[in-house]
Homo-oligomer: A and B are copies of this chain.
Amino acid sequence: MKKNRCALLTSFLLCLFLPGILDAQSKTTHPLDPLRTEDYWAIYDVLQSSGHIDADTLFASVLLHEPPKEKVLAWKTGDPISREADVILLRKGATFEALVDIAGHKLESWKEVPGAQAPIIRGEFRELGEIIKKDPRVKEALAKRGITDLNTVECVPVPYGYFAIPEQEGHRLGIGGCSNLHGVYHGWGRAIEGLTIIVDYAEKKVVKIIDDGAVPVPDGPITYEEAPAIPRAGTTPLSISQPLGPAFQIKDGEVLWQNWHFRFRLDPRVGPIVNLVRFDDGTRLRSVMYEGAWSELYVPYMHPATGWATRVFLDAGEFYHGGTIKSLREGMDCPSNAVYFNGLANDDKGAPVLRPRQACLYERFTGDEAWRHGEGGEVWGRPSRTLVLRTAAVIGNYDYILDWRFEQDGSIRVVVGATGVIETMSVAAESAGAHAAAGGLEDYGHLVAKNTLGVNHDHFFCFRLDLDVDGQNNTFMAHRLVQKKLPPATHRKTVWVDEPFTAHTESDAMLDIHLEKPSMWMFINSSAKGPLGHPTGYEIMPGVTAASLLDPDDGPQKMGAFSAHQLWVTPYRPNEIYAAGLYPMAGKGNDGLAIWTKENRKIENTDIVAWYTMGFHHVPREEDWPVMPVMWHDFVIRPFDFFPQNPVLTLPQAP
């Protein structure tokens, strides 16, 4: 009866959690809830009282340590909630790992991790930036370029990556350069090119200056927000209206929308983590995915110049201090019917920082059909709507919008929008001229403005998708579509047939997309058969994507090795979360997906995890400057024989 009341228009408002939505995130009600303010301080207290914190100790990372999956699945409301945290600390270049039992106020483990580099800490950028500016060699190099007022200069060293050079061993190196902000309000596009500075973050010093000679600093317009807004003639107001409020509910941190149930938390490292994604098929709540999230973002640049060849970023694992995702802007990032969620991340002293609007949740008015058919001169069908969980990461110059879109038909569409400011190299050339005449200038990038080369690069977004289709024991099958010759009597010579292939071990499931060898990627539960005898399943349908073109033996590519295949499947292991490993900063490629799978473990009829990489090559164009229109990419996780019929067949007539 209680459930039915909610469906009645008159009692809608009683059933909605409008003011309660944000609060729903503010107390711990589930083992997968994010760390709360009191958790951060409990962690701090445990570490402080254990004597491990001194004035030089920096908190690089404080993340929820998820309880073992079987414990989470067995957990019921009212059961005690165990809380643990993984902490990475940095002290004078040394990296320490702690596991803290929050509820028990206990340090469970503490160890130094030799050779590992903690992710870069925001304060390190600032501190080393100032040190660079005080270095006489830098001052001299800038003076040579006519820059003597250092107030307008900004210098930023970024992680060096791993390039197998002796200088790196045992050091925490950064490499970077300076920009001149004079006359503008941000430094992107104002690089003082030709001056490369290598720093040691731990020793807080400039290690080396490389001066390849002055290049003019571009002076074209880069003022994205101050550009005059030009009204589009005839524009009339267009808005979304949901007068009775959102159609989803949040109960103890669980989102309920139509037939979908899921949880999410905002993780400082990988952003939104969706959990316990289940679909109510009318008879029972069925598991689709235990967990889905970004695992790593890999952005290698393609210029061989000093200071550029080293720009090979693992955007999540290197840069997440303070939180990979950032605030959304109301009405711009999300429509007026969105509900926002705050988030917490640690600062370098371990204190929580409350950050507004880290995610939004809203129903998207699609204007599209869920299904339709014209028959007998009439049109039949149903309009659709979608639930969107949106966040936006900002990693320096780039912004990545990330949507988890829950569709009524049981599909989950994952969408990434790349926008922000491209990285540019200052060059002498004012125009492109003929490609050859410009000395191969545009081999490595594309001139986007006078003296401004948008440098070519890739984006690879690796998603860790712990699908649990109707339970944990799943099998991955590639349905290969293969040409078959027909006997001569058929007249027709060929058809294609569906040849299902069961992946027994990890090497069977390292898959690349080839148009001439298509295959469907299916995650099935062979002990949960539907009424027709098919195993129930979910399919990952790739969208437009790309494969890395770098030599697998190249240092950077060893770190981003997950980009070598579009799909990998591994057996579930609680500590295999990050596709480029736990410590990608200056990592040597000895952790991560490509390493774990070397064992070629069994993946049949067991708890398995899919890793899908969405990628694109980016040759910037003039339209990408001074800020880039959003470029969208997506992929879909859709039911395949999970439902015995079209799940949107029974939608009501109104959207």
A483–B448 alpha-carbon span in the complex (Å): 23
Q: Given A224-B649, A491-B309, A373–B335 Cβ distance below 8 Å?
A: no
Q: Given A247-B238, A332-B372, A401-B372, A645–B622 Cβ distance below 8 Å?
A: yes
Q: Are A232 and B549 interface neighbours, CB within 8 A?
A: no
In the complex, what residues of B have CB within 8 A of residue A410's CB?
A: 623
Is A650 interfacial (CB-CB < 8 Å)? yes
Q: Given A383-B331, A493-B554, A641-B621, A650–B229 Cβ distance below 8 Å?
A: yes
Q: Given A241-B239, A367-B362, A530-B622, A496–B617 Cβ distance below 8 Å?
A: yes
Least Cβ–Cβ distance between A368 and chain B, in angstroms: 7
Quick one: which of A351-407 are within 8 Å of B by CB? Answer: 362-365, 367-377, 379-385, 388, 392, 394, 399, 401
Binds B, one of A109-117, A266-274, A288-296, A510-518: A510-518
A495 contact from B221, B309, B337, Cβ within 8 A: B309
A236 contact from B12, B376, B379, B512, Cβ within 8 A: B12
- Nearest to A5 among chain B residues (CB) is B233
In the complex, what residues of B have CB within 8 A of residue A372's CB?
A: 329, 332-333, 392, 399, 401, 419-420, 630
A499–B492 alpha-carbon span in the complex (Å): 41
A421–B653 alpha-carbon span in the complex (Å): 19
Contact with B along A205-232 (1 / 0, CB 8 A): 0000000000000000100110111111
Is A136 interfacial (CB-CB < 8 Å)? no
A649 contact from B447, B626, B646, B651, Cβ within 8 A: B626
Least Cβ–Cβ distance between A354 and chain B, in angstroms: 13
In the complex, what residues of B have CB within 8 A of residue A248's CB?
A: 234
In the complex, what residues of B have CB within 8 A of residue A498's CB?
A: 442-444, 446, 456, 619
Least Cβ–Cβ distance between A137 and chain B, in angstroms: 22
In the complex, what residues of B have CB within 8 A of residue A382's CB?
A: 332
Contact with B along A434-454 (1 / 0, CB 8 A): 010000001110111110000
A379–B381 alpha-carbon span in the complex (Å): 40
In the complex, what residues of B have CB within 8 A of residue A655's CB?
A: 238
Q: Are B619 and A644 interface neighbours, CB within 8 A?
A: no
Is A48 interfacial (CB-CB < 8 Å)? no
Least Cβ–Cβ distance between A282 and chain B, in angstroms: 7
Q: Given A490-B304, A649-B626, A496–B420 Cβ distance below 8 Å?
A: no
Is A595 interfacial (CB-CB < 8 Å)? no
Is A317 interfacial (CB-CB < 8 Å)? no
Is A49 interfacial (CB-CB < 8 Å)? no
In the complex, what residues of B have CB within 8 A of residue A12's CB?
A: 234, 236
In the complex, which of the residues A259, A335, A450 has the most CB atoms of chain B within 10 Å of its own CB atom? A335
Q: Are B515 and A545 interface neighbours, CB within 8 A?
A: yes
Is A148 interfacial (CB-CB < 8 Å)? no
Is A574 interfacial (CB-CB < 8 Å)? no
Q: Can you list 26 A-B contacts (CB < 8 A)?
A: A3-B233, A7-B234, A12-B236, A165-B491, A221-B645, A224-B371, A231-B652, A234-B247, A238-B337, A238-B385, A302-B495, A304-B486, A326-B374, A333-B379, A333-B381, A362-B367, A372-B401, A373-B419, A443-B497, A449-B645, A456-B498, A498-B619, A532-B622, A622-B644, A623-B643, A628-B646
Q: Known pairs A333-B379, A483-B551, A628-B646; list 19 more (Cβ under 8 Å).
A: A163-B492, A224-B380, A232-B259, A234-B258, A236-B246, A239-B242, A304-B486, A304-B492, A312-B492, A328-B379, A333-B381, A368-B417, A381-B419, A492-B555, A494-B551, A495-B550, A514-B514, A622-B644, A626-B646
